[in-house]
Structure 1
Amino acid sequence: MTSATSEWVTPPTRPELIENLVSGVDRYNPTNVGILEDYLYHQIRSQEYDCLANLAILKLYQFNHDLYNPDVIINILVKALTSVPFPDFNLSIALLDDRVPSANVDEPDPLPTLLPHLTTLHSLLQQCRFPAFWALYRSDELESLRDNYTVEVVGFEDAIREVVVRSVKTTFQRINTKRLGMYLDLSGSELDEYIERLGWKLDSATGVVEIPANPDNQIESSVVQEDIKLPQLSKIISHAISSA
């Protein structure tokens, strides 16, 4: 198990109480849903993230429709966006019941309206269409998502930029600041400061950013050497002659 996978399964910030709930049969006890929901809002305020604990909430909603809370589901999906390319968002979607109940007959349910947009945002991130992601995210259509949800998620936009950085690091050795700025939704001094925090080298004269070498952005030629013994070669030649 890689370090990244290990931290995904058991985040170092997960409290012992939550570990016991997630790892044991108590994860299916509906009376514990409040504890898990409180933990979700702790993640939102503290920039921590625990996918398995959040999936446990959705599983409880799936088994107990009376527990359904659309705001909690939307927050889980928003946090899952920041985990791309991990499959957290799709795992969360898979646990949503097709028969979404109404949380409160007196108030409109925001989930049916926002779910298609959240799914599109996720697809754009997966496809590395970052300028399109920011354009949709900043659009008037998603004003309610920004004003009611992502504004509460501490560091949400920077977490999305970390998704961008992971992709850029595996793809580029050099990239111009105009393209990088579009990917990060940053410009001017904000972009320069962000590049400096990353430790990347910016040539102000050319506007080119150098990405430090890593195993993913280095092209290395490989030589494949066939080791065929003489008896094997003789068999190949004999078979070719007999087949002629």
Structure 2
Amino acid sequence: MADLDIERIPALEASVDAQCAKGTYELDDNLLLLKLYQFFPEKANPAVIARVLVKALMHLPETDFLLCMYLIPERIATEAPVLPIVEMSNRLETCQFQAFWEELAASRELVDVAPGFDDAIRDYALGVVSLTYQVIDLKYLGEILHVSDAATLDQHVAKIGSREGDKVRVKLSDDNQAKVKEPDDASAVRADQLAKAMRAMAHVL
């Protein structure tokens, strides 16, 4: 278990700081650090854990945040500075974007350590919109993205579709279109079977 060497903790903590400063990302190193904190709880640094989670949030919809949470003791996850990030994650996972931005405003100092955080979350939100909508109100999209500037909002609109007045028409994909499964010959309902079923229902009614 050479990886679980307490001597590695300072270097891994420094790596987290470097990831925040340089905009890089080393998930394996971060998971190893959290595992070391499990084995040596007296060394666990909640501030570093919070930064690890911030970086993981920037990679939604990947499951990185969940992987990290599995390694974090409840006593740390339920206290500041980790708890606000967990709560923000819950908002994002349940697509409560307006509530997310409100909570973020109260905890801005936690994410400012990672430049590009807001844009990463907006990209995630745009991905959700593109999977969910064919047409969305422009004002509502602005609220989801927490963007009020018209020019900036238009830049985001261009990533997922086109603006039509006060609406945004999202590019069609397999995900945002209703799918009708074509029955194969074996499972197709014959006309006589359907008629028999309808007659049976009539008797019940």
For normalisation by structure 2, the TM-score amounts to: 0.80
Indicate the residue corresponding to 1:135 in structure 2: 102
Indicate the residue corresponding to 1:176 in structure 2: 137
CA contact (8 A) 2:49 2:82 kept: no
Please report the RMSD computed on the Cα atoms of aligned residues, expressed in angstroms. 2.2
Q: Which of 104, 115, 124 is the matching residue for 2:91?
A: 124
AA aligned to 1:188 is D
CA contact (8 A) 1:26 1:32 kept: no
Structure 2's unaligned 5+ residue stretches are 188-205
Indicate the residue corresponding to 2:44 in structure 1: 68
Partner secondary structure for residue 163 of structure 2: strand
AA aligned to 1:66 is E
CA contact (8 A) 1:181 1:191 kept: yes
CA drift at 1:29: 1.7
Cα deviation, 1:211-232, whole Å, max 9, x if unaligned, reads 222221122322112428xxxx
Identity of aligned residues (%): 30
CA contact (8 A) 1:171 1:217 kept: yes
In 1, Cα distance between equivalents of 2:168 and 2:32: 42
Cα deviation, 1:39-85, whole Å, max 9, x if unaligned, reads 22222123332322211111111111332222111101111222333
CA drift at 1:31: 1.5
AA aligned to 1:112 is E
Report matched runs for 1:32-181 at 5 Å.
32-98=8-74, 112-138=79-105, 142=106, 145-147=107-109, 149-181=110-142
For normalisation by structure 1, the TM-score amounts to: 0.68
CA contact (8 A) 1:150 1:156 kept: yes
Count of equivalent residues: 186
